[in-house]
Amino acid sequence: MRRLISSGSPFEAAAGYSRAVVDGEWIFVSGTTGFDYSSMTIQDDVVAQCEQALKNIAAALKQADSSFADVVRVHYLMTVAADFERCWLALGKAFGEVRPAATMMVVGLADPRMKIEIEVTALRRKAAPRKKKATAARRKK
């Protein structure tokens, strides 16, 4: 079953996309920038933008009954390659244990204030199967 998730950002309605799309166990989170959607503001610092983008992604994943633990792929879009290393601490906090497949690209973004955009794909994992309890016959042996 397909479900659309919105952050409430005016960008989504204007450009015709969803913050995330849930299709079965897959969650596709659109490229997400460092805008604080509640105030429609963006900080100038790339690390602050990275941290806010991660908050925005975490909120979308939560709406999809998921989390960073389910992320299998991440794309980082940066306007300045040298800024990527400055973001590693924040990125490591989000993805360090998960270690998804990742790609970083240097690009131009739609708004000159944007310095980073992050896109993730997640796969919700089903609960691990429980071990079968020993049957009465096995216990007698």
Residue-by-residue DSSP string for 96-113: TTT--EEEEEE---SSTT
| N residues, the chain | 141
CA 55 to each of CA 2, 36, 37, 130: distance values in angstroms, whole numbers, following the listed order? 23, 9, 11, 33
Q: The tokens of 97 are what?
A: 């244990």
d(CA 23, CA 17): 15
**pLDDT tens digit sequence for 124-139:** 987 555 455 554 455 5
Alpha helices in the chain (DSSP H): 10-15, 46-63, 84-95, 136-140
d(CA 9, CA 82): 29
Instruction: Specify the amino acid at residue 140.
Output: K
* Main-chain phi, psi angles of 95, to 5 degrees: -120, 0
pTM of the model: 0.86
**pLDDT tens digit sequence for 75-129:** 999 999 999 999 999 999 999 999 999 999 999 999 999 999 999 999 998 755 5
d(CA 111, CA 14): 14
